[in-house]
Amino acid sequence: MATVETREIRKHFGDVHAVDGVDLSTKEGEFLVLLGPSGCGKTTLLRMVAGLERPTAGEILIGGQVVNELPPRARGVAMVFQSYALYPHMSVFNNIAFPLRAQGLPRASIQRKVEWAASLFGIEALLHRKPRELSGGERQRVALARAVVREPRVFLLDEPLSNLDAKLRASARDELQQFQRRIGTTTIYVTHDQIEAMGLGDRIAVMQGGRVRQIGTPSEVYDEPADTFVAGFLGSPPMNLVEAADALVGFRPEHFLPRGAHGDAPDLVALPFRVTRVEYLGADRLLYGVLEGRFEGARVVARLPSTLSVAVAAGATHDFAVRGRDLRFFDRRTGLRTAPRGL
Amino acid sequence: MRGRGRRGPLAAGGRGGLGFLLDRPEWLGPLMIGPAVLYIVLVVGVPFVLALYYSVSDISMGSRTLGFVGLRNFASVVQTTKFQTSLRNTFVFAVASQVLVMVLGTGLALALMRDFRGKWLVRLLILLPWVAPISLGTIGWLWILDSTYSVVNWTLEALGLIGPDGWFMWLGVPHLAMGSVIAVHVWRILPLATVILLAGLTSIPQDIHDAAQVDGAGAWRHLFQVTLPLIRPIMLVAGLFGLVFAFTDMVVIFVLTRGGPYDTTQVLASLAFFTGIQGGDLAEGAAVALFLFPLLAAVAVVFLRVARRTEVV
């Protein structure tokens, strides 16, 4: 086991700054998720840690040692690719054994270790098959077994669940986390899916434009976003942002409820809400509309849980409110979080 | 009645005469493949059937009779030392050149996969032998290997590797002559093999190479356990194609050595030409030319079966 650290790491492809000065440090045995939209540099960052891309500047440390000049095989990392990248001409057994053979282990111990890795993921019965004879979920397990078999210091996972269907993805997420907890290897996981990130990560690093915008636990990045990008990227629908005098005021759709639903909370901010459209999603209702009064014309969304049986009709104005402590304030110019203030 | 029937499809399709054809696959298909079929039948099919017939006849240039003689031509031709030498040379020439082409082609294709400055220029240079007319290129080689003007000998002497009396007779000494025709044939086939192998290499997803690197494979393990097994089907296609080509082609030998010295570079294709066309014995020439046909047909069948499963992943 080891920690991974990057110091002012950069990767430029010509004029494109894919990674633009990232300082990141994992804790021992941590599950760190790199989250961001397509093209934010998260995969490039992961590939630099793996040694598949050379940084333009900056340092990468694994277990306290600078590894910039080391080839991938000398870094003690294992990687699972989005496509799984199984060797199509080899059986499952040979796929899993490949990293061990590269290490030059004796035959008997290869046999033992492959069986151990296969049993971790319940794929003992598939060892003689070729990758093309496996389902998506089985291939993913083989890729994980191949990664785990040589007991790496660090796991790097590049969107390993994105090729699975929605149902399988939920169970795979669960298995992945249990497995990581059990072996306790430091893991860096790249995804653009915020549900995966929130569900799996000990901490999440939210990236945009080659930089880390915020790093923190799932509840920190969700509840206390560091800037308007993080506020707008996390949450579905994202945080409502309305313009106040010299600031942007943000509040989550699930905190924006009919006044009556708040009970007798002391610090309510009343916001008259003209609903233009109602989406019924089963567990929730999404209400789209515009604010009236103080923030006249601002477009916002409210998310009402189905347990709240208030009748809301499109076209009418309703009395909605947010608790003062659920409001977040951002600088209008920089988008950065600022101290709370009165409205 | 007839007039209405002719107007019908035009009115429905709303197009001219060509449009009518485009809308009727049962006409369009045969029409488009027709010229190619006709071409192959006339230029390949008819001569092939004629050759089959000639090989079991007693035809010769200048005679007006054409009698059936069974397999007598084959029986008499295989007994000659000229034929036996040519048969052995054919295998030496085809197998040696193909082995060289595969090894060099794989190396070149791997080198061309990498990014470097001037890559397009190198690719162009490598492709040049394939696009240049082969007789022209070979005549160039004839000068390069000439006993008096050879630029190779001149260079070797300038480098001090041979003396003024030590000039090689590239096309005049048996082993050197065979080596020379093989080298020129390799020069000629290499571009095509390289391009085919390059296509195979580019079809391997980058993730697989990345995985091999992270999994700890060194350069040799990566090459022999990942890259080469993945392009094996396409290597087979390139190899078998080149093999059939080397067995049946005689341009290089015809221009450079005409089979000499003392038939040491004579192959069956050139022997068939010299016996049948220049010697006038059409029947024996046909028999020589068709001798390897069963073997090559078998190679072609294997080739087609392999070509059908050339997907890499």
Out of A89, A102, A146, name the one closest to residue B230 (CB). A89
| Band of residue B17 on the pLDDT scale cut at 50, 70, 90 | low
Q: Which residue of B has its CA nearest to A78?
A: B214
| Distance between A125 CA and the closest CA of chain B, angstroms | 23
B225 touches chain A (CB under 8 A): yes
pLDDT tops 50 at residue B12? no
Alpha carbon distance B167, B242 (integer Å)? 32
B50 touches chain A (CB under 8 A): no
| Distance between B240 CA and the closest CA of chain A, angstroms | 21
pLDDT tops 50 at residue B7? no
- Is A189:A33 a contact under the CB 8 Å cutoff? yes
A262 touches chain B (CB under 8 A): no
Partnered with residue A323 across adjacent β-strands are A268
Contact: B215, A146; criterion CB under 8 Å: yes
Non-local CB neighbours of A142 within 8 Å, separated by 6+ positions: A84, A86, A92, A95, A96, A121, A123, A126, A131, A134
Q: Which residue of B has its CA nearest to A82?
A: B207
A82 touches chain B (CB under 8 A): yes
Contact: A102, B312; criterion CB under 8 Å: no
ipTM score of the complex?
0.84
B207 touches chain A (CB under 8 A): yes
- Is A335:A230 a contact under the CB 8 Å cutoff? no
> Half-sphere exposure (CA, 13 Å, Cβ side) for A161?
23
pTM of full prediction above 0.95: no
Choose the mutation target among B215, B227, B310 for the interface with A, i.e. most A CBs under 10 Å: B215
pLDDT tops 90 at residue B14? no
| Mean pLDDT taken over chain B | 82
Hey, what are A325's tokens? 């402590």
Mean pLDDT by 10 residues, chain A (343 residues): 88 90 91 92 93 92 91 91 92 94 91 91 90 90 90 91 83 85 90 91 93 94 94 92 88 92 85 93 92 88 90 89 92 89 76
Q: Render pLDDT for B76-118 as a digit per residue (tens, 0 to 9).
A: 888 888 888 888 899 999 999 999 999 999 998 988 888 888 8
Which residues of A are less than 8 Å from B236 in CB distance? Answer: none
Which residues of A are less than 8 Å from B207 in CB distance? Answer: 81-83, 85
Choose the mutation target among B203, B210, B214, B225 for the interface with A, i.e. most A CBs under 10 Å: B214
Q: Say what the pLDDT of residue B309 is.
A: 62
Alpha carbon distance B273, B277 (integer Å)? 5
Closest to A157 in 3D by CA, of A134, A140, A171:
A140
Contact: B218, A85; criterion CB under 8 Å: no
For CA atoms B247, B252, B254, B260, the dihedral sign is: negative
A189 compared with B257, residue with greater pLDDT: A189
Which residues of A are less than 8 Å from B212 in CB distance? Answer: 87, 98
